[in-house]
Chains A and B, each alone.
Chain A
């Protein structure tokens, strides 16, 4: 069961059992974005509040497996209060870690070359790297990140 323990690290189980930043923000002023995994029915609802060039607040709702929910929770802890530049860089790095496998599968057009990924930047999020050994679960791990990226794009579009 070594692979399983690598997938389900204690920190992942902790975030799954006690998810951080749960709930929804009033929208408006917050922006609400949904992500779905049509294969398994997992869903995530992210409320983001952008103030200036900062992701001032975010909350996560929805339901799904331990990987999708812990990834969303870990993400919320990592990006809350950060500048938008930092958030975008973190999204890029996280998706890079996940796309090491996706690139091999040829599933993700914007795959990042593995050498570009600096896992040190990811802190606790690096706990999710065990997921790449389970290709089917990568979409669970990236669900909330794709939704966040989409939400930030939509907010930027509105502002522009």
Chain B
């Protein structure tokens, strides 16, 4: 299979048990992978097998299944690291609960150590709340100046003032791909400017890592966070990759078992990364599921997945325009290299909740609301959108059913 061969979507759909169910007597049309992706049978089976044959706590027992569990868990770390091109996955990949916890870890541990009263940080207007609120919490606590890169009319970051915005900041937090606009940000370009100014760059990779090839050696970020459940793995496990020298200099996040070298009644010595940041029994079965998800995606090829989703984004944008005209607004840049498969839709003046409710009757799963990006929604001048997001198993038929549902919503609320 060449890296550019088109996906056989019809065959791939058979890998996803959930796609066989019906909703309101319609076959399910799952267009909410940006919120949480579906799992292929291989992921479900891997986790079942683990519980059926292997489960034991990690890093503790010496019996056979405990050794095997530890091996599987550490193997997941290597798989997650290799998936994003990490040079030293065994030491640079920290397992967390999800992207949100990964970003909170950076804010709590790196932030509290390196940021103080009067320091400035730079975020963007298109960040998910997960890359705003932890920083605002820290800002309230220690007194930070929080600046924002504005979003332009096409839904791209306006980098015109980046040089002056970045001047004097110690951290730049930026989404690799917007969960509302689908915009894929020029991370390497931003990181080069940020590094020149002496800032550390933390990337929210929740949307990009599941949908496009990512290589941290060229990405530019010093930290990147992502979640297994958005990349066809299970809920409950996320990843934080960070450069070793940064992780090594950071204090622990949560305290407890597993993250120490020694504990006395009045003191403790923290373990080295990544254990330093993994207090308590970790999500072991979930790590096994993540390994299976990475293998599944890797076998198909991230280049091919990206090409499929970009072509389908292009199809969707032109079909929505053709069938619904200017009544239908889809936010974000036109289909192209910097556009991922996220379609935030406003149709006439029908509220997103009402659109989503009507779409549900067609079996179509979309996400209505503000998508945990209220500052961006204010900027776009909308309270809510109905977001349809694509996956490797999405096809043109899904888009046609989506349009059929939107037409019905227009008729009902006309």
Residues of A within 8 A of B (CB): 1, 3-4, 7-8, 13, 16, 39-43, 63-67, 134, 137, 140
Contact = CB atoms under 8 A, between A and B. Distances in A.
Contacts of B352: 40, 65
Interface stretch (B87-95, B105-113, B335-343, B353-361): B353-361
A25 to B, nearest CB: 23
26 contacts: A3-B24, A4-B412, A7-B357, A8-B354, A8-B412, A8-B413, A13-B412, A13-B413, A16-B413, A40-B368, A40-B369, A40-B370, A40-B384, A41-B370, A41-B377, A41-B383, A41-B384, A42-B383, A65-B351, A65-B352, A65-B353, A65-B354, A66-B351, A67-B353, A134-B357, A137-B357
Nearest to A17: B413
B329 interface: no
A34 to B, nearest CB: 14
Interface residues of B, number: 18
B351 A64 contact: yes
A41 B374 contact: yes
B345 to A, nearest CB: 15
Query: Most chain-B CB neighbours within 10 Å: which of A1, A8, A65?
Result: A65
Nearest to A39: B369
A66 B413 contact: yes
Given A4-B412, A40-B368, 10 more contacts: A7-B357, A8-B354, A13-B412, A40-B370, A41-B384, A42-B384, A63-B383, A64-B351, A137-B353, A137-B357
Interface string B184-202: 0000000000000000000
Nearest to B24: A3
A108 B146 CA distance: 38
Given A4-B412, A8-B412, A13-B413, A41 B357 contact: no
A63 B383 CA distance: 8
Contacts of B351: 64-66
B282 to A, nearest CB: 30
Query: Most chain-A CB neighbours within 10 Å: which of B354, B368, B408?
Result: B354
Contacts of B24: 3
Nearest to A5: B412
Contacts of A67: 353-354
B369 A4 contact: no
B369 A41 contact: yes
A43 B374 CA distance: 13
A76 B184 CA distance: 46
Nearest to B369: A40
Contacts of B413: 8, 13, 16, 66
B411 to A, nearest CB: 11
